[in-house]
Amino acid sequence: MTGAPLIVLVGPMGVGKSTVGQLLAERLGTGYRDTDEDIVTAQGRAIADIFVDEGEAAFRALEKEAVRSALAGHDGVLALGGGAILDPDTRALLAGQRVVYLSMDVEEAVRRTGLNAARPLLAVNPRKQWRELMEARRHLYEEVATVVVATDGRTPEEVTQAALDAVELKDV
């Protein structure tokens, strides 16, 4: 498959990019791809292990390449890792794409991610870390977004429908 993705999902970890991405792909009858999964498959290691073994900078380099490759080689729904938009080259590549920013408030974030060890950036004091993370990133999500879809108090199915309505793509 080649060409630009139909939809690219961005937003903080735990907001539902992977869950909603798969539902969106089903509704649109297209493929689903997730850059975190691409990295895990290529490296044969969990994301958390890459962070621990090699550090965040090494992970970001792998992520940048995974996103570049997926944007060029996937025409379905693409979910990015929550920190992918930190890279300026990645943000430039997202310009002109149909980008859906899934958003949520801090309390919803803590409820969903909790103390999940698979998300190393939230391993200690998740509420404080989530706040700081969003202060640093919110404007970047907004910068790349075509539309913003709030997920608070919505089921994954409701978020999926809201995203379809927002981008005005009809499911088949």
Binding-site residue positions for Mg(2+): 18
CB 151 within 8 A of CB 108: yes
Query: How far is Cα 172 from Cα 163, in angstroms, rounded to an integer?
Result: 15
Q: Which of 45, 129, 147, 156 contacts ligand ADP by CB under 6 A?
A: 156
Which residue's C-beta sits nearest to ligand ADP?
A: 16
CA distance 162 to 153: 13
Closest contact distance (angstroms) between CB of 83 and ligand ADP is 11
Residues annotated in a binding site for ATP: 14-19, 119, 154
Is the CB of 5 or the CB of 81 nearer to ligand S3P? 81
Nearest to 81 by CA among 70, 92, 73: 70
- Stretch near ligand S3P under the rule CB under 6 A, chosen from 65-73, 75-83, 140-148, 152-160: 75-83
Give SS3 for 151.
coil
Q: How far is the CB of 79 from Mg ion (least distance, A)?
A: 6
CB burial of residue 89 (10 Å; 0-12, 13-18, 19+): exposed
Interaction site with ligand ADP (CB under 6 A) = 13-19, 79, 112, 151, 154-156, 159
